[in-house]
Amino acid sequence: MTAEGKAASFWTTLPGVLTAVAGLLTAVTGLVVGLAQAGLIGGHDGPGSGEDSSVAPLSPHTSDVATPVSTDGEGDPIAGKWRGRVASPNGDATDFISVLIESPCRLNQPCGTITVKSVPCTGRITLIGVDAGVYEFYVDQFTPDSGTDCSPGGGELFQARNDGRLEYKADYDPHLTGILHAVG
């Protein structure tokens, strides 16, 4: 049989080419979706990333297990070394604290330490939530020289101020507040 007499292969006809293109597009789309869901490509804080992107209010009492109360952001905007005095409004409780927030500071990852001088307590901090610019940290893994009054838990709240300082509040003692200064 001559070349003129051969029947054309399905894959060389218009329906065959369209079928091949559709199959290829389906395969590439499936691959991209699979990689995105696995977190290997694309953003990690938008809809469809496998994380809850809703913002929940910071709870007044966090359990002993560090669970995120928000996935609204990360702690890099307040990274640095900070120190300052914290006090209750009536002055009956004053203390000196220092905080080191290392970059990168990611949700549910340890990213620094906090030291409360008078107790004394020095513990690891883990970012567990961000809500409207307020960063909540969970404290645990205290150093051996920390006092027996140190206990793990959340509720260490920090917020950047327009003047370059860091505002501190403790949600377990709403009257305990302070302003921390950046340390060179």
Question: Does 166 lie in the same domain as 81?
Answer: yes
Higher pLDDT pick, 175 / 147? 147
Q: What is the pTM of this model?
A: 0.58
Question: Does 157 lie in the same domain as 96?
Answer: yes
Please report whether residue 61 resides in a domain. Answer: no
Over residues 96-116, the mean pLDDT reads 92
Q: Which of 62-66, 86-90, 159-163 has the highest mean pLDDT?
A: 159-163
Per-residue confidence (pLDDT) for residue 91, from 0 to 100 = 63
First to last CA, the chain: 87
Please report whether residue 95 resides in a domain. Answer: yes
Q: What is the CATH number of the domain that holds 84?
A: 2.40.128
pLDDT category at 18 given cuts 50, 70, 90 is confident
Please report whether residue 84 resides in a domain. Answer: yes
Higher pLDDT pick, 162 / 22? 162
The token pair at 178 is: 């302070």
Please report whether residue 160 resides in a domain. Answer: yes
Number of domains in the chain: 2
The residue range of the domain holding 23 is 3-37
- Say whether pLDDT at 121 is over 80: yes
pLDDT category at 60 given cuts 50, 70, 90 is very low
Question: Does 171 lie in the same domain as 89?
Answer: yes
Please report whether residue 49 resides in a domain. Answer: no
Question: Does 33 lie in the same domain as 96?
Answer: no
Please report whether residue 148 resides in a domain. Answer: yes
Over residues 49-63, the mean pLDDT reads 33
**C-alpha dist (Å) from residue 13 to 2, 8, 9, 51, 76:** 19, 7, 7, 45, 57
pLDDT category at 51 given cuts 50, 70, 90 is very low
